Structure 1
Amino acid sequence: MSNHLAIATVTATLQRLLQSAIQGDVEGARVTTVRPDAIGTATPETGVNLYLYHVPTNFIWGNSAEIQRRNRQGLAANKARTALDMHYMISFYGNDAELEPQRLLGSVIRTLTDRSSISTDMIADTLADSNLGYLTESTLTNQVEQVSFQPLNLTIEDLSKIWSVFFQTAYNLSLAYKASVVMIEGEEVGSKPLPMGDRFGGVGAFVNQPTVTDVMHQDGRFVPIEAESRIIIRGTNLKEKDVFVRIGDAETRAENIEKNQIKLSLSSFPQELLKAGIQELQVIHRFPFRTEIGNNGNNNEESENDPIEKFRNVKSNVIPFVLRPTIIDASLDDLIDIGKGLRNATLIIEINWDVKPQQKVILALNEWSREEAKSYLFEVDSFEQDTRIIFFPVKEVKAGNYLIRLQIDGAESKLERDTDPGSSTYGLFMRPMLSIE
């Protein structure tokens, strides 16, 4: 989930997104985040003003306190969450004789149509901006629910009321957008009272229960986590004698443990139990104890009545992170030239983990070209059992060389750049690539 910096991070990311778009459409235009009554005094002559004027509770998530306290699998969460929508008034100003406000309006609408949600990479770029150092500790990248944008269909009367009541200033050409949803997690561990009949049964929380606050690649928060990655788990009360880490159905013993940090490699997990997509990680302290069942009088042999060693598990909260798939191989079958430089084919992709039938799998093809590069999205046909080999029917694809990405439940495979400084393609994405002739 996201911490208290989530709201500001969404605004800053949206500002950077719009700035990169409008500066190429209207020379000298800038995106500001001041109050609308400051337009003309604290702003450039031409630009777009982004103002957050209303933050209501999200209708779907906020309608039930119980939903707020559950994770993706329906298990009770340890910390309370508040789900919010963010309503923005986007105003446009400039030289009306040259229709600058209207040109800026069109630029913003086009941008938010093409980029209707905030990706993890966009958030990472925002947090890496040296001018936004006050957002460095933001954890918006950990939020499972993606923040998306959609226009608010306000009437002239609605706009008039907002400008006259909230802003009390002259009206500028404007439109409103909603960002949804931002999940802000509290810091206090949640609790729920026992039923009346159980309140005096001596049940209580473990004093040294582990708590996990963050999962990240050891090389940095914005480095993607893959099959062979080494990860860092941060939290409190993590160090004990027997510590295990569970990801989904896979479990491994943790060796490199400090009081508030665990380091381990994902290669230590049974790979057949891992899958791409949103994963749920949990730290477990395992304490052995012996149950005294009795003895049958035979001192030489063990029997079913001898003491039995069992284990008591003390579990941390569950925290999500994204595990990216890796493309092992890609090939073509049934390639057909359908004319006009277009091809039909079956693209066969092998990945490093099994894909489950219920998972959503999307293929992205981006032509490796500097001129009018084509891009395509294809969704896999349904399959009935776990598989590592996926067949995509691709149709009406322009002949050429294509970078390949796979998205499984929103977890995207990694593209590799050319790292040779002497190469003419240094710094460009080069792999994995497939030629469709």
Structure 2
Amino acid sequence: MSNALAIAAVTRTLRNLLFDAASDLGGAEVSAKPPDRARATATGNQINLFLYHTSIDAALRNDDPPGTRPGEPAFPPLPLILHYLITAYGDGDDDVMAHNLLGRAMVALHDHPVLGPREIKIALAGNDLWEQVERIRITPEALSIDDMYRLWTAFQTQYRISAAYQARVVLIESRRQARTPLPVLTRGPADAGVTVVPFVIPPVPTLTAAQPQHRQPAARLGDELTLSGVHLSGASAIRFLPGRFDDPLDTLPGALLSVTDLEIRFVVPDGPDQLAAGMYTVAAVFPPPAGAAPGTPEHLSNEVPLAIAPLVTAGLPANLGRNPDGSVIVDLSCSPRVRTGQRVVLLFGDRPVQPDGFAPPTAVLRFVVPAAEPGRYLLRLRVDGIDSEFIDRTVRPPVFDPSQSVVVT
């Protein structure tokens, strides 16, 4: 890498190359001035080299400095791309001579695309760019006519035929101090390193799914439920983690029907106020191991999602007569009770119907369905996004459950 003299070192090296290219034309001057000041005092043959822009090399911006050792991070160097504009002027503003000079300059850079360490070293005293691992490469830069004219407009001077080049990449070393930590002597107790378990199956109790009976998408109060997983032997209860309304709830010991290493079968608590319809997560509860110190807490498996669906307990099936205005009234009872803040809607066929006002918690709901045409309609009670069961999944293929319908006459 190099110090802050790197940019000046590149400019001086390029000036030397251009001076050599025009040396047989009677000592043409090679300047490094802004184009609007290049001909302020000069009148003879002249080549002007102007650094008009610098940019960052994105590929090297976040790389460690060359030669960095593993484990000894250092701040990345500043990787610069230098953009130069070369303009030629003939003696007495002779454009033919200017074209001659520009051609010689372009041939010189074409034949010399990489700056050598020695020529960089002698170009500017005190620079150390010549020690950089990355070589400085000179390549033509294609500027559109529009870009070139905009560039000369910014110079606020008359346009002269020019050629653009870029020099890349110049790595300027950061002044921030690198860190050189001491090496690691051991990797854990007895230098054993990281413990690796070469199995896909996790070594701790893990649940993978909660499956209601008959492949239903949601469980109802009192339903049998199967939890699948691994290392489940020894579970003492199933914990329902807090939903919108409830504190954590553990199943009673008698609710566990069977416990094996791969699955747990249990009955969903069916107390009237234990669970509300909605989404929950469940986990298996394991008591402290035998011989554990007093006060050792129980531990839980991971959690899996479980939906609790409302159950229509009364009001279906039914034959409903229409009112004089064409509406019908649907009265339903449900379990569990609907609580304050729960979103309730009756899906009457394909129509959502909001309930009449009610005072929660309640198990009795009334829905007024406007403009109900005669016919049979399948009903679903949706509480907090979970639908009551309306499909008979005990047969194959499944069918709609006729007990969850009404006939409008």
Structure-2-length-normalised TM-score: 0.41
Q: Which has the higher strand share?
A: 1
User: Rg: which structure is higher?
Assistant: 2
